[in-house]
Each structure stands twice: as structure tokens, then as C-alpha cells.
Structure 1
């Protein structure tokens, strides 16, 4: 028995020595990384880009002024202290690494080689800075709307998109990622890819007002809405929507509730309008579907702008869903930050009559709806063909 114990002990000792040798690092800091200050992208290319605002904006998706404002907000949160062993990476460089990842979607190894930092260091920096961006900007650029905010949004939809009492357009976007380990079919969506869902409420200026990130790709947009905090508040009547109001020029129709507009994936509710189902529809219902489609374009446009600005959406992300959620939230609040900074360009809309209905309005599944919701939709349909008609709707 003693001989067996001795053999076992010697085996474990040899095994621990092999592991220790395997984990032994050749360098404390690789020589390539030591030359970060001399050859790193931030210390040379980025400083040269500051001399050309156009190239700087294409590189970071932010102008120099926007970058500096953002740095002033997040700098204190992402700064690290120097130690006796090494100097900390400055806050400006950490922000540059994060923005470059969001703007390109390149692998951490590629980003790390460009900025001359470790691959794991780049990953940690992106995670920390993305969280900091969300934390410091959300109160100013995506705060929970109040009743007065909803009223202002409704005025914007009426002025720009000719849809009164509309507090926002709702839709979902699939953010594609590599299949997480041991996740089964939870993230597998109807497009045949793996994803998490970004559910968003967008205002008339194409800014995100409410988002919900992290829903499983297999869940429908309606299911994501039902499980989200926004959906529960809408269902329970705790969303602080303004009181019912009269439609402009249609006092005889009585007060109507403020509503959100969505596509056929969402259920019909008193405060959530969706298209009429079917292909052969009466004229007033076809007009309603067009007007709803026209108002709903803002959420499609917002998703398009988001993906074109932050090209991490262009390829499947080989990251854990929790990491992807941080990046998605950061890009959404940065989208609002940029849109509101560029308010002059954000208020431009398409010329009247140039908007085509969104495809797919003819193939709508029937679902059971409350009588009140049906009444509200019928009232909007009648209004759009009478008092609320616009000159070009009959030509579309």
C-alpha cells in the first residue's frame, strides 16, 4: 500500500511540474508590446488623424469634438492607476480601442496588434469602456420618457410623418453571433442564424427612446415585447402616456389614446397599432396600412443608421451574449449622442409623398384582439381617409 501511495505522489508531482513549465511565460511583456508608445496606432496614426476631421470621423464614427466630449464624460470611470510594474493605458487610448472595435467589428487580436496591447487586455478594455459609455450617457440621451416626453414625441410624429397621437415606432433587430456553447436552440432564429434581439422604440427623429437587449433569437418580436419591461408597462398602463386627446380636425370622433406603431409581428392593442391583415382590402384600410407603414419607417431607418455607423453588426460576433449586450447598448446610446449632436442633419426627412410602403403588409397573421383595440384602429382608418387625409396618399 505504501508503494502505491509513493507512485501516486510521484505522478502528481511530475504532473504539477509539467503544468508549471507549460504555464511559464517567455516574456512578462512581449517586446512588441513594449514599443506601444513608439509604434502603437493611438500614439501615431490617431494623432495624425486629429489634423483631418473627416478622416478622424470615418475612423472613430465620431468627430474630434464629439470624441473629446465623450472622453470628458467617461475618462474618470475608465482610468486606471500606474503601478510599480507598468504604466496604465491612458483613458483616451482605452476609449479609442473600444470605439475602434465597435466601428469595425474586427477581432480582439487584430485590434490588439494595431494598438500594441495584449489580446486579453483589449477584450477587458472594450467591456469596461462599453459599460462606462452606457452608464454615463443613458441619463442624458436615453432616459425613461415622462408624460411630457411622450407628448413631444407625438407632436414630432404628427408634424413629420402625419400620424397623430403616435409615441413611437416599435421593432426588433437580430444581432448575429456565434452559437454560444451549450445553448441548444435558444439563440437560433427563423433566418437560420444565432442571435440576440434588440427591441427598440424610436421617435420621429430616429433616436432610440427605449431599448431591450438580450432576448433569445428564437423568440418572436411579439414575445420579446411581452417579456420586456416596456411591454409589461404598456400592458399594465404604467408607461405614463399622456391622456387621451382629440384627433386634429376630428372632434366628433371623440378622444383617442396615444399609440405606438409596429408591424404584423406585434399584437393589436389599445396602445399598439398594427396593419390590417389580408391582401384585398377596402380603400380606407389600404390607406391606413400605408400611413402606418410610413410612420414605422423611422425604426427601420434607425436600425440602418446604427448598422452603417457601427460595423460590428456586419458580421457574426464571436463573443458571449452578455458581452454583446454591453456593446449593443453602447452603440445605441452613442447613436443618440451623435444624432442629437448633429441635430441639423437629424431633422431632415424625406419629401412628402416619396415614401413607399414597407414590404410585407399583405401577409399578416390574424390574432385575437380586444374590442377597444379594434375600435381605435378603425377610428384611425376612418380618420386617415377623411379629415386626416394627405394629398399624395391616393397616388401611392
Structure 2
């Protein structure tokens, strides 16, 4: 009797499993009702934010064009020329691909405003899933082409002095840069728990940056989870280690303007979150 019950139970389980697999396969085979929404397909008909940008702002209002992308047209064309081969996609017989120009424009707008992909979808007529795929590609291409030209720590005393313009601009002598951290909020993975949860009550990653007197970054460290403080990010960074070992080739100590003959070191300024040292000055 028990043997018959066991065989019957196995048979029922097999039947249920087979039915679930078939339903799953049918669900996968189910074709989408529409290839793309009609209002998205009208992207190239002179409607939408990107057409406003290129057909009106670029011609009629250069300042608004620059405010939109945070770049003027000359800078935009230079970046586009560098990365066009990396982000170009082929057209198909079903539909045209999104042009490299549009991909770069949407990416720059996202970086400038932090708008959600859904918000960008409604203004640019490009679906949010597509935007989520090409923005990382465009950012990666920009970084690969520009990192050596625009983001580089000085390696000689002369190069450090060139960017140490804080005295002329901000009346702060012997200063080589300003260091600080910034929490960048984002939607953390559900499985991450409190790993990215910071003291501000949000999930974030930390951007640690060193900027010169003209607000330009000369060093960045980004990606550490938000639970770590600015000081903790700095402590574990490569920049902290080379700074402690005096391997950055800072200029020799110099006399401050109007301060007699005593020579003082060149320093980096930071806030209370960072440790005080010979090369790191805080309030």
C-alpha cells in the first residue's frame, strides 16, 4: 500500500513539474504586443528635447545650449569625434539605431542633472531600458579617451606650482588643492542590506576628489560604499599612502608672503573629517 502511494505521489509531482515547465516555455515564447511605442518612434520627426537642442538652441541660443549640456558645441564635437567609433551602432531593417550624437547628448544631460532614466525617456523619446544600457557605455568611452589628458596628478614640483594658484585667486598661499568627499545617492541592490547605508539616512557611494584652484579635479576615488566616512575612504586610498610617504614630489617649503624668513610646507586643505598632518591642513 505504501509503495502504491509513493508511486502515485511521484507521478503527481512529475505531472506538476512538467506542466510548470511547459507554461514557462509558453510564457517565454509569447511575443511582445508591440515592437516599440508609437510616441517613441516619432523621435526623429522634429519633436522632443533633442530636436529642440540641435535645431533651436544650438542656432538661436548658445548660452542655453551650453547650460543644457554643460559644454559648448566645440567641446561637444571634440568628445563626439573621440568616442564615435566606440558608441556607434548599426541600423537594422526593422529600425534605425540611436545616433552617437543622441547617445552623447542624453549621457551629458544625465550627468549634468541626475535625472532618472524614466524622466529622460519622456523628454528624449528614448526608452528608459535603452538609456540604462548606453549611458554606461558612453561614460566608459569618455573615460578611456580623456583620462590621460584631463585627469592626472602632477608628478613634478613645477607642475604642482602651476596649479597652486590659490594665493592669487583665494588669498591662500602654499596650497596645492582642496580635498573632500561627496555621497552620491543611488538605489542599492536589495541584497546589499545596510552596506551602502550612510549617516544621512540614504544609500550612497562615496566620491573622494582633489580639486585645484579652478575647480578642476586632479584626483578622484569613487566607488566605496556609503557606510565608510570620508576620512576612511582617504585612509585606504592610494593617494593617502603616497602622500604619507612624500612620493608626490611637492615643491620645497617656501616663505609665506609678508611672513619673515620662516619656510612653511605646501599643503592640501580639507575639512574636519580628515586627519591633520604636515601635508594635510584642516580647520
- TM-score w.r.t. length of structure 1: 0.62
Shift of 1:205: 1.6
Per-residue CA deviations over 1:143-192 (Å, capped at 9, x if unaligned) read 222223212223x1232333332211111122222344232333222222
* Correspondence for 2:154: 145
Structure 2 vs 1, CA of residues 39 and 165 (structure 1 numbering), >3 Å: closer, same or farther? Answer: same
**Count of residues paired in the alignment:** 272
* Correspondence for 1:233: 242
Residue 45 of structure 2: SS of its match in structure 1?
A: helix
Residue 111 (structure 1) aligned with residue 111 (structure 2): no
Residue 178 (structure 1) aligned with residue 187 (structure 2): yes
**Structure with higher RCO (Cα < 8 A, 6+ apart):** 1
2:113, 2:272 → 1: CA distance? Answer: 33
Contact 1:169 1:262 in 2 (8 A): yes
2:22, 2:71 → 1: CA distance? Answer: 55
Residue 173 of structure 2: SS of its match in structure 1?
A: coil
Contact 1:153 1:166 in 2 (8 A): no
Structure 2 vs 1, CA of residues 90 and 247 (structure 1 numbering), >3 Å: closer, same or farther? Answer: same
Shift of 1:234: 0.9
Contact 1:42 1:96 in 2 (8 A): no
Contact 1:40 1:114 in 2 (8 A): no
Q: Quick one: which of 58, 61, 65 aligns to 1:50?
A: 58
Residue 80 (structure 1) aligned with residue 89 (structure 2): yes
Shift of 1:18: 4.2
Residue 33 of structure 2: SS of its match in structure 1?
A: coil
Shift of 1:243: 3.3
Contact 1:97 1:125 in 2 (8 A): no
Structure 2 vs 1, CA of residues 181 and 3 (structure 1 numbering), >3 Å: closer, same or farther? Answer: closer
Shift of 1:200: 1.3
* Correspondence for 2:3: none
Find the structure with the greater CA-based Rg. Answer: 2
Residue 36 (structure 1) aligned with residue 43 (structure 2): yes
* Correspondence for 1:257: 265
Structure 2 vs 1, CA of residues 84 and 199 (structure 1 numbering), >3 Å: closer, same or farther? Answer: same
1:203, 1:48 → 2: CA distance? Answer: 35
Structure 2 vs 1, CA of residues 7 and 179 (structure 1 numbering), >3 Å: closer, same or farther? Answer: closer
Shift of 1:223: 1.0
